[in-house]
Amino acid sequence: MARTALHDDQIALGAKLTQFAGYELPLQYRGILEEHGAVRNGAGLFDVSHMGKLLIEGRTAGVLLDRLSTNLLAEVPRGRCVYTHFPDDHGRILDDAIVTRLGPEEYLVVPNAGQRYAIREWITHQAQGERIRDLTDSHCCLALQGPKAEAMLQEYIREPLKALPPFQGRFLRIRENRLLGHVAELPPQTLDPLQEAAAWIGGGRYQGISLGVLVTRTGYTGEDGFELFPPNPLGKILWRTLLEHGAPLGLQPAGLGARDLLRLEQGYLLSGQDFDGSQTSLQTGPPWVVKLDAHSFVGRLALLQQKAQDTYLRLVPLRSRDRNIPRHGYAILHQGSPVGTITSGSYSPLVGSGIALGYVPQELTTPGTQLEVDVRGTPAAVQVATRPFVRLGARR
């Protein structure tokens, strides 16, 4: 069972651990609902270092990723983060990922932990001279999420974070004097591969940066927030420092339980659950992630054929109309007959009812459509809703 570089710190904070995607990870610290509330009202800090970190380099790196991706990547500006799907030859989703263009010939691909090796091998198999470096084990990923995230992180970053738009990334300089004297704990510095790849800072070339970190304004919660990609030694220091300084302001460490509820309230997909290798991007959406008419990519012809036939199930948001909570694997019923399956479900304290995602035929996808879910042999009323379930005032 793999562990992230922050495992000992998580134990010290009283984390309750669970197994996920081959890792032993925190399910919760103080409680799922408390951590959920901290993110929605203040800020939460997640260790998501189990997520893959694949650095793709080469003159044709963008062309390679365009060929493997449903979205367009080759011509996006440096610093841009793009959500995309990687399909197989039949158009089925291998994984979803966020891809950040770091430099003229460098891209950072962040796939899900469970599909990290599959995506790495898929890209490697399709490569034609491009270099693929797996930084997953050498780099942390810290997700600072919530309406107070910017103010908390700004204490440690020299550049103004207000200048970093949603779905943009930069290699930013750290205020070393804010790291609680931990800088001496760092090993002798070598050039971070991400710093080497992102050969710019706010539009200018690097000029003797002593300490920095790749920061993207991205997340999996719907809130404003950031994902930081430091090497492991620096990641440990940032984790400890952020929590120590942020605690009086309401910052809490948060685990997978809160993360899952937060993403479900936004209708975000969970790899291996909302798609499991048998669904396509047309089924899951969102529609803007598939640029069918803009470029040629692996699986495109299969998606065009599927779109022409128009007989496929669609993933829809569902909301309970009683106290029952739809759960993963429950059958969706229409007029007493099974028509689909719940993929994700939970109770949302903000919605005040059970919420879920599930697959149904196209004719049952209209918001307000009345359906039922088989809850251990008892039909429970649900209706098709709209995504997101919880609308936020976040910048993204």
**Fold match between domain 50-124+280-309 and domain 313-387:** no
Polymer length in residues for the chain: 396
Look at residue 393 in the predicted model and tell me its pLDDT. 62
Dig out the tokens for 361 from the structure. 């035929």
Instruction: Look at the domain 313-387 and name its fold.
Output: Elongation Factor Tu (Ef-tu); domain 3 (2.40.30)
Classify 125 as helix, strand or coil.
helix
pLDDT tens per residue, range 245-271: 999 999 999 999 999 999 999 999 999
User: What mean pLDDT do residues 32-55 have?
Assistant: 98
CATH code 3.30.1360.120 for 7-49+139-263: yes
> With a threshold of 0.85, does the pTM exceed it?
yes
Are 365 and 384 within 8 A, CB to CB? yes
Cα 302 from Cα 387, distance rounded (Å): 27
The residues facing 100 across adjacent strands are 81, 108
* CATH superfamily of this structure's domain 50-124+280-309: Aminomethyltransferase beta-barrel domains (3.30.70.1400)
For residue 111, cis peptide bond before it (omega within 30 degrees of 0): no
Other beta carbons within 10 Å of 272:
16
Cα 123 from Cα 344, distance rounded (Å): 29
Residue 77, judged by CB atoms within 10 A of its CB (0-12, 13-18, 19+), counts as exposed
Residue 159, judged by CB atoms within 10 A of its CB (0-12, 13-18, 19+), counts as middle
pLDDT tens per residue, range 303-360: 999 999 999 999 999 999 998 999 999 999 999 999 999 999 999 999 999 999 999 9
**Domain ranges in the chain?**
7-49+139-263, 50-124+280-309, 313-387
> What is the residue-averaged pLDDT of the chain?
94
Q: CA distances (Å), 120 to each of 111, 114, 126, 134, 135, in order?
A: 9, 11, 10, 8, 11
pLDDT tens per residue, range 92-139: 999 999 999 999 999 999 999 999 999 999 999 999 999 999 999 999
User: What mean pLDDT do residues 356-372 have?
Assistant: 98
The residues facing 253 across adjacent strands are 45
Dig out the tokens for 121 from the structure. 């091998």
The residues facing 171 across adjacent strands are 214
Q: Taking 90 as the threshold, does the pLDDT of residue 183 lie above it?
A: no
Rg (CA), the chain: 21
Look at residue 252 in the predicted model and tell me its pLDDT. 98
pLDDT tens per residue, range 164-177: 999 999 999 999 88
